[in-house]
Amino acid sequence: MIVMDSILQKIVDNKRREVEACRRAGVYDRLVIPGRTPLSFRQALIDSPTGIIAEFKRRSPSKGEINQTADVATVVNGYSVNGAACCSILTDTPFFGGALTDLAVARMTVPDTPLIRKEFIIDGDQIREAAAIGADAVLLIASVLDAREMAEFTAIAHDLGLEVLCELHNIGELDKLPADADMVGINNRNLATFDTDIARSSQIAAMLPSAMVKVAESGIRSMEEVTRLRREGYTGFLIGETFMRHSQPAEALKNFVNEKL
């Protein structure tokens, strides 16, 4: 039994209702997995000079509306040409303003850019759904899942050719990290308040498996912070609100990457 903070609990409770409604409606029975070979999210981070995972999201539970009118095709195309190694697409609707169609449109728009489905995965069929709409990777959140589920869902993803980013919020969750996880992420967001502090990534960095690709998530606001986190062993940097609060998120990314230290 995973005990969660109130905001996260509301999100996960709602997600369970959504999944059950989809199951009753036969949505998962109608899924068709395309014949495409998924791109390697992990390798794209390793090869990229920026390591930036640029995120598309319209709102958040703590900040409300961020960029409600943003067009996913315009934003991800701009991200792709302005320095992003990969893109993260929020697909949760009630709390983040996303949709499955956002990821499907992103896939058609940037066929050569790795995409991760940013979602609260609580069922294996959500991973099959991610593959069906063109994701290359999925997020597994240790605060939501137990060790058995983390391992089981990683296996399901790998069977579909997808990679997994396993997200931890504190070192106490390290024992949930599957040995065959493709990447480990440290989320700098406090799940009780949804505030961010990138010191969390710095504090945990040395305790993570040395050979695993590490991703710092949330709260990153400057290339100076990226450079410091890279020195501490991070390869990827998931950044969303810093870009999405601008009327032109891709331009914000371009300026971010070109920032003089």
* Residues 92, 225: Cα–Cα separation, whole Å: 28
Amino acid (one-letter) located at 196: T
* Residues 131, 149: Cα–Cα separation, whole Å: 18
Type and span of the H or E element at 63: none
**Bridge-based pairing state of the strands 59-60 and 64-65:** antiparallel
Catalytic choice (18, 55, 129, 149): 55
**Bridge-based pairing state of the strands 137-141 and 115-118:** parallel
Active site residue 187: yes
Q: How many Cα atoms occupy the beta-carbon half-sphere of 53 within 13 Å?
A: 31
Active site residue 15: no
Q: List b or e across 213-225, with b for residues whose CB sees 16 or more CB atoms inside 10 angstroms.
A: bbbbbbbbeebeb
Active site residue 57: yes
Yes or no: say if 4 and 61 are a contact pair by the CB < 8 Å rule. no
End-to-end CA distance of the chain: 46
Helix ranges (DSSP H) in 171-239: 199-204, 223-231
Q: What angle do CA 149, 97, 41 make, to 5 degrees?
A: 50
* Residues 58, 70: Cα–Cα separation, whole Å: 7
Catalytic choice (48, 82, 118, 214): 118
Catalytic choice (167, 173, 188, 214): 167
Q: Cβ neighbours of residue 69 under 8 Å, at least 6 residues apart?
A: none
Active site residue 218: yes
Catalytic choice (48, 67, 187, 201): 187
* Residues 258, 223: Cα–Cα separation, whole Å: 8
Active site residue 254: no
Catalytic choice (57, 143, 214, 241): 57
Task: Reduce the DSSP state of residue 101 to 3 states and report it.
Answer: helix
Kindly list the catalytic residues. 55, 57, 118, 167, 187, 217-218
